[in-house]
A and B are shown apart, each in its own frame.
Chain A
Amino acid sequence: MQANPQLNRNGELQHLLSLDGLPREIVLQILDTAESFASVTEREVKKVPLLRGKSVFNLFFEPSTRTRTTFEIAAKRLSADVINLNVSTSSQSKGESLLDTVANLSAMQADLFVVRHASSGAPFLIARHVKPHEHVVNAGDGRHAHPTQGLLDLFTIRHYKKDFSGLTVAIVGDILHSRVARSLIHGLRTLGVPEIRVIGPQTLQPPGVETLGVRVFSDMRAGLAQADVIVMLRLQNERMGGALLPSAQEFNKYYGLTAEKLALARPDAIVMHPGPMNRGVEIDSSVADGAQSVILPQVTFGIAVRMAVMSIIAGN
């Protein structure tokens, strides 16, 4: 049994499944490489030939627009051929198993699978069964992980704050259902951020979250004090089984980011959001569109980060 299913025998990145347990050098390698890809996306021809002749399969068992699109753009800018499959509407509904779907695509000469699945662990299962030359990137699995989002968040923070030491990062909202929060917390810990806060109602905090090395706040005002970075999470209505919240209005009152609450953070604090935003629920429009918002740059950086991830793993 291999210790880390993401790494090959030489300790190089073979699949990207989670930021949990990913060595610091590899995280930095991805961020540094993404820096160079950012310059590619500013040119006349926004393409490099690295993945020419390779086939990237976007396997989305769960709907997504932004993530799927940015993966597709990233793969195309690496000159790969991209095939998009919305599996929720195809074979799976006819009863084909996950591994059978993958085996069939593998028989079509796949090189890289980008996988989103509602079940935590699905990309790990696929990674265990693919051929040695095939690679898997987790594009979000259940509540577990969304490593490329975590990496693009780290890239964004480094872009604006230059250095991780001395930072206070506040993650606000529905922590319980958020794979984005989990991935970001692991990444921030790996890069040595001294103060990570999670802010949200008790019902939306995963039990034992403090063991991840974060400070837990249920009072948003206290949690935002002197923060350098504020990461707002989407209220995930579709993942809420029972009555975890009285109402969206109630949530907005206590945990929505308004200009007035933003003023409690440091004056140069940046505001991030993984999207899609519920304006007027977790974030007010005046903040989302305000001077401290870096929500749209996050999307742009996401392409360079995904180019870096795919070109590093496909070369290993």
Chain B
Amino acid sequence: MSALLPDAEALIRELCDRIRPDLGPRSALVGIHTGGAWLAERLHRELGLATPLGILDVAFYRDDYARQGLARDPKRSDIPFAVEEQDIILVDDVLYTGRTVRAAINELFDYGRAARIALAVLADRGGRELPVSPTYCGARIPVPEGKRLRLVRGTEGRLALELHDAG
């Protein structure tokens, strides 16, 4: 199955090429934990951004708390720069319902008022439940409900897309 998926490393290079022309002195990257943080780390290095990388874990902002409770091991969100007036590129591995992105935008606002927030994703699998669309997208990979598309990190930090049954 994985053989049919595009090569994540190639998608990352394409994504960098698309983001690079838009970068300015106020650009900053914020990755969404976990896969988005890995991807953001790579983009941050390849793009050579001066502003340090931010990480969000949106556990405290999820809209399914009332149904599912609190996620088991929420990581620390860490935004090591002033969000006020920055051009922020939010980074996630796979865009699906859009609910995680909604939560991330809400959390970002609690750090300050960004000048602009864009969204970069490696893969858009469809199935949106909110009016969210990516500014930068590596590939559109339609995935049926009940399957899970996610980013995995292998040896030497190599990133790859993986498809398996949700459970």
- B-binding residues in A (CB < 8 A): 12, 29, 32-33, 35-40, 43-45, 47-50, 311-312, 315-316
Residues of B contacting A37 in the complex (Cβ-Cβ under 8 angstroms): 60
Say yes or no: B70 contacts A43, CB within 8 Å.
no
Residue B59 at the A interface, CB < 8 A? yes
Say yes or no: B70 contacts A47, CB within 8 Å.
no
Say yes or no: A39 contacts B76, CB within 8 Å.
yes
Say yes or no: A316 contacts B60, CB within 8 Å.
no
Residue B112 at the A interface, CB < 8 A? yes
Known pairs A47-B110, A315-B68; A29 contacts B73 (CB<8 A): yes
Chain A binding surface, main DSSP class: helix
| Complex alpha-carbon distance, A252 and B112, angstroms | 50
With both chains docked as a complex, state the minimum distance between the C-beta of A53 and any C-beta of chain B, in angstroms: 9
Known pairs A49-B106, A50-B60; A32 contacts B111 (CB<8 A): no
Question: Which residue from B65, B76, B112 sits with its C-beta under 8 Å from A35?
Answer: B76
Nearest-neighbor residue (CB-CB) of A46 within chain B: B110
Say yes or no: B61 contacts A36, CB within 8 Å.
no
Say yes or no: A50 contacts B111, CB within 8 Å.
no
With both chains docked as a complex, state the minimum distance between the C-beta of A43 and any C-beta of chain B, in angstroms: 6
| Complex alpha-carbon distance, A48 and B73, angstroms | 16
- A-binding residues in B (CB < 8 A): 57, 59-61, 65-66, 68-70, 72-79, 106-107, 109-112
Residues of A contacting B109 in the complex (Cβ-Cβ under 8 angstroms): 45
Known pairs A36-B60, A44-B111; A50 contacts B70 (CB<8 A): yes
16 A-B pairs besides A32-B73, A39-B76, A48-B110 with CB distance below 8 A are A29-B73, A35-B76, A36-B75, A36-B76, A36-B77, A37-B60, A38-B76, A40-B77, A43-B79, A43-B111, A44-B110, A44-B112, A47-B110, A48-B61, A50-B60, A312-B70
Say yes or no: A312 contacts B69, CB within 8 Å.
yes
Residues of A contacting B78 in the complex (Cβ-Cβ under 8 angstroms): 39
With both chains docked as a complex, state the minimum distance between the C-beta of B118 and any C-beta of chain A, in angstroms: 22
What are 30 A-B pairs with beta-carbon distances under 8 A? A29-B73, A32-B73, A32-B74, A33-B74, A35-B76, A36-B59, A36-B60, A36-B74, A36-B76, A36-B77, A37-B60, A38-B76, A39-B76, A39-B78, A40-B77, A43-B110, A43-B111, A44-B111, A44-B112, A45-B111, A47-B110, A48-B60, A48-B110, A49-B60, A50-B60, A311-B60, A312-B69, A315-B68, A315-B70, A316-B69
With both chains docked as a complex, state the minimum distance between the C-beta of A41 and any C-beta of chain B, in angstroms: 11
Shortest beta-carbon contacts, A-B, top 8 = A315-B69, A45-B110, A48-B60, A315-B70, A36-B74, A39-B76, A36-B76, A316-B69
Known pairs A40-B60, A48-B61; A33 contacts B70 (CB<8 A): yes
Question: Which residue from A29, A45, A49, A311 sits with its C-beta under 8 Å from B72?
Answer: A29
With both chains docked as a complex, state the minimum distance between the C-beta of A139 and any C-beta of chain B, in angstroms: 20
With both chains docked as a complex, state the minimum distance between the C-beta of B34 and any C-beta of chain A, in angstroms: 14
Nearest-neighbor residue (CB-CB) of B110 within chain A: A45
Residues of B contacting A12 in the complex (Cβ-Cβ under 8 angstroms): 69
| Complex alpha-carbon distance, A119 and B75, angstroms | 38
| Complex alpha-carbon distance, A12 and B59, angstroms | 18
Residues of B contacting A40 in the complex (Cβ-Cβ under 8 angstroms): 60, 77
Known pairs A36-B59, A50-B65; A311 contacts B70 (CB<8 A): yes
Residues of B contacting A50 in the complex (Cβ-Cβ under 8 angstroms): 60, 65, 70
Nearest-neighbor residue (CB-CB) of B109 within chain A: A45
Residues of A contacting B66 in the complex (Cβ-Cβ under 8 angstroms): 315
With both chains docked as a complex, state the minimum distance between the C-beta of A168 and any C-beta of chain B, in angstroms: 29
Residues of A contacting B69 in the complex (Cβ-Cβ under 8 angstroms): 12, 312, 315-316
Say yes or no: B73 contacts A49, CB within 8 Å.
no
| Complex alpha-carbon distance, A40 and B57, angstroms | 11
Residues of A contacting B112 in the complex (Cβ-Cβ under 8 angstroms): 44
With both chains docked as a complex, state the minimum distance between the C-beta of A80 and any C-beta of chain B, in angstroms: 13
With both chains docked as a complex, state the minimum distance between the C-beta of B65 and any C-beta of chain A, in angstroms: 6
